[in-house]
Amino acid sequence: MNDKPVLVILGPTASGKTELAFRIARQIGGEIVSADSRQIYRGMDIGTAKPPREMLEEIRHHFIDEKEIGEPFSAGDFAEQAAERIRELRQRGITPIVAGGSTLYIEGLLKGFAELPPADPEIRARLTRELERHGAEALYRRLEALDPEQARTLDPTKSQRLVRSLEIIELSGQTVTALQRKTTGPSTGIDFTVIGIDLPRELLYDRINRRTAAMMQAGLEAEARRLYDQFRDQWRSKTLNALATVGYRELFEHFEGLHDLQTAEVLIAQHTRNYAKRQLTFFRNRLDMEWVAAPLDEAGVDALVEVICRRIG
């Protein structure tokens, strides 16, 4: 069995990791292990920037279109199942390439998870009451003061991880950041070579703006409308985490009459830029990786593919 380190390609959204992984896999006859927490769901296509159908047909992509919306699938599930897929591929002589940007998926696969205290119903209930009374922003400011690194990786509007982070501090007397740094790595027996795609912030943000416009032109509004019509009750009750996702959330709010379509598009781009910033903060603070300059043209892509293929070949 091939015991060379498994290549992991990371980067913020819109950085070009999907195309790079595809080109490498095509050249070496590999398969891609997708580390994207939303692309695993069927029906969420345009808004999650899934690879085009022709790419999926040419190269096997694991963990894309494998679950129905609402079907539970956690970062722990991914870490366990992705390691198993990697071992199976290598036993068959196929080179796996991990590519994606979902921070907890990646961290779980590479490092494992810290031993975190179990939930405490009393503390959870009290924090939830504070959330309802004072809003997510107040709890977020508290977390910023106690665990600034963890706060920078969270969306202040996503209350579940915010409450859990504060709960852990109360229960353990330690921050999530400190606990996660104590992990010694999962016992998968797999070594990884981790490469991050780096590009200037202004270029990244321009790519995000242009990709948002392209998604709208490709029919994102219609895709979101179909999902809204199917799942509006669960979305309103906040019981379907998959759809609390940039690209869908803003359009659902538009369908609810909170803002017009043009504002929704502006917000999608803005929130995607915010998400990319949080991804970069997480990668730089929590993972050991080699950053490579993003290729800016076709020749640059070809050159980077050749360099990486020689390293893993």
Q: Which pLDDT belongs to residue 186?
A: 64
Mean pLDDT, rounded, for 129-151: 89
Q: Using one digit for the tens of pLDDT, what is the confidence trace for 147-181?
A: 998 888 888 777 888 898 999 998 888 898 888 77
Average pLDDT of the residues in 284-302: 92
Q: Taking the CA of residue 31 as centre, how many other CA atoms within 13 Å lie in the half-sphere pointing to its CB?
A: 17
**201-218: average pLDDT:** 97
Architecture field, domain 121-181: Orthogonal Bundle (1.10)
Q: How sure is the predictor about 94, in pLDDT bands with cuts at 50, 70 and 90?
A: very high
pLDDT at residue 223 is higher than 60: yes
The radius of gyration computed from the CA coordinates of the chain, to the nearest angstrom, equals 20
308, 24 in Cβ contact below 8 A? yes
Q: 49-58, 237-246, 304-313: which has the highest mean pLDDT?
A: 49-58
Q: What is the pLDDT of residue 200?
A: 95
Q: Is 4 annotated as a binding residue?
A: no
Q: Is 95 annotated as a binding residue?
A: no
Alpha-carbon distance of 264 to 55, in angstroms, equals: 29
Can you read off the two tokens belonging to residue 286? 């929590």
pLDDT for the residue 176: 86
In whole angstroms, what is the distance from residue 229 CA to residue 75 CA?
28
With cut-offs at 50, 70 and 90, classify the pLDDT of residue 312.
Answer: confident
Residue 17 marked in a binding site: yes
User: Mean pLDDT for the chain?
Assistant: 92
CA distances from 243 to 121, 230, 233, 250 (A): 26, 11, 12, 10
**What distance in Å separates the CA atoms of residue 2 and residue 51, rounded to the nearest whole number?**
27
The more confident residue out of 26 and 1 is 26
Q: What share of the chain is helix, strand, coil (3-state, %, to 5)?
A: 60, 10, 35
The predicted pLDDT at position 302 comes to: 94
Average pLDDT over residues 130-139: 88
Q: Is residue 16 a known part of a binding site?
A: yes
Query: What H or E segment, with its residue span, contains residue 211?
Result: helix 201-218
Give the pLDDT band of residue 299 (cuts 50, 70, 90). very high
Residue in this structure with the two tokens 């032109």, named with its chain if needed: 217
pLDDT the model gives residue 183: 67
If pLDDT is split at 50, 70 and 90, which confidence band does 93 have?
very high
Q: How distant, in Å, are the alpha carbons of 10, 102, 122, 132, 268 from that of 140?
A: 27, 21, 20, 13, 21
Known binder of ligand: residue 52? no
The answer to whether the annotation marks 72 as part of a ligand binding site is no
In tens, the pLDDT along 182-196 reads 765 666 789 999 999
Say which DSSP state 224 is in: H
pLDDT surpassing 70 at residue 225 = yes
Structure confidence at residue 48 as a pLDDT band (50, 70, 90): very high
Rounded to the nearest angstrom, the gap between the alpha carbon of residue 82 and the centroid of all alpha carbons in its chain is: 15
Instruction: Specify the 3-state DSSP secondary structure of 198.
Output: strand
12 by Cβ neighbours in 10 Å (0-12 / 13-18 / 19+) ranks as buried
Cα torsion through 44, 227, 208, 193, rounded to 10: -30
Q: Which of 179, 164, 188, 186 is nearest to 115 (CA)?
A: 179
Query: What residues does each domain of the chain span?
Result: 6-113+183-312, 121-181
Does 118 show up as a binding residue in the annotation? no
pLDDT at position 184: 56
Beta carbons of 249 and 220 less than 8 angstroms apart: no
Which CATH architecture describes the domain 6-113+183-312? 3-Layer(aba) Sandwich (3.40)
pLDDT in tens, 251-275: 999 999 999 999 999 999 999 999 9
pLDDT at 185: 62
Residue 118 reports pLDDT greater than 70: yes
The answer to the question of whether 13 is labelled as a binding residue is yes
Q: How far, in Å, CA of 163 to CA of 119, rounded? A: 11
